[in-house]
């Protein structure tokens, strides 16, 4: 997917005025992209909502300082990526214990019917992605959820396109092994 720059008029309008009137337009335009990245990265709708909320609040608070040096969307993706990493950093201590706890609670309730109804392939793929190291996972999400180019991913994550390529290649190897 090729990035489309937001019309300058839109961003400068948002920058010049109070945040609220144009905030709605920006939100409508980008909400699905932001939420999709957050959900595919975190694997949890609640966490994805928190990440999206944090991203948009930072966007609205900082849009006055956005000078248009980079693409607006690159800046937005960078905000989402940072919000995802921040969220993970906040929760990483609790996550394994909580996950184990919920697995124990969930196990007896799962029926054979649930297994049949659940899309097994989707579950397997998403689990495999969820178990990738954080940075690799983010690159996979940006690549396959948003279809970004290596350059766009590099700008969003803050590394070189070569690093993106190598991380993606390692992620592919890991995923291919896990999904055999």
Partner 1 sequence: MTKLESELTRHLAPVRAPAGLWREIQGEIRNDRAPVRRPIGWVVWPTVAGALLLLWQVAGTPQRPPVIRAAGGCGACHVHGL
Residues that bind partner 1 (CB under 8 A): 19-20, 23-24, 27, 31-36, 39-40, 45, 49, 52-54, 56-57, 60-61, 90, 121-122, 125-126, 129, 140-141, 143-147, 172, 175-176, 179
Nearer to partner 1, 68 or 144 (CB): 144
Which helix (H) or strand (E) segment holds residue 161: the answer is helix 161-178
Task: Identify whether the C-beta of residue 135 lies closer than 8 Å to the C-beta of residue 103.
Answer: no
79-100 burial, b at 16+ Cβ within 10 Å, e below that, comes to bbbbbbbebbeeeeeeeeeeee
Nearer to partner 1, 15 or 175 (CB): 175
Closest distance to partner 1 from the beta carbon of 62 (Å): 12
Backbone torsion region of residue 147, taken as left when φ is above 0, otherwise alpha when ψ lies between -120 and 50, otherwise beta: left
Closest distance to partner 1 from the beta carbon of 169 (Å): 12
Closest distance to partner 1 from the beta carbon of 3 (Å): 15
């Amino acid at each position: 997917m090729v990035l489309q720059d937001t019309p300058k008029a839109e961003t400068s309008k948002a920058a010049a005025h109070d945040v609220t009137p144009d905030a709605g337009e920006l939100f409508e335009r980008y909400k699905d992209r932001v939420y999709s990245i957050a959900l595919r990265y975190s694997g949890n709708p609640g966490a994805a909502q928190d990440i999206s909320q944090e991203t948009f609040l930072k966007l609205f608070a900082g849009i006055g300082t956005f000078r248009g040096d980079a693409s607006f969307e690159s800046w937005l993706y960078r905000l989402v990526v940072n919000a995802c990493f921040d969220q993970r950093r906040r929760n990483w201590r609790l996550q394994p214990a909580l996950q184990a706890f919920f697995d124990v609670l969930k196990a007896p309730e799962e029926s054979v019917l649930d297994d049949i109804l659940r899309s097994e392939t989707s579950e397997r793929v998403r689990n495999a992605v969820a178990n990738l190291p954080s940075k690799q996972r983010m690159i996979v999400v940006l690549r396959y959820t948003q279809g970004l180019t290596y350059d766009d991913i590099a700008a969003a994550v803050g590394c070189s396109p070569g690093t993106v390529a190598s991380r993606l290649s390692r992620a592919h190897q890991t995923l291919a092994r896990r999904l055999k």
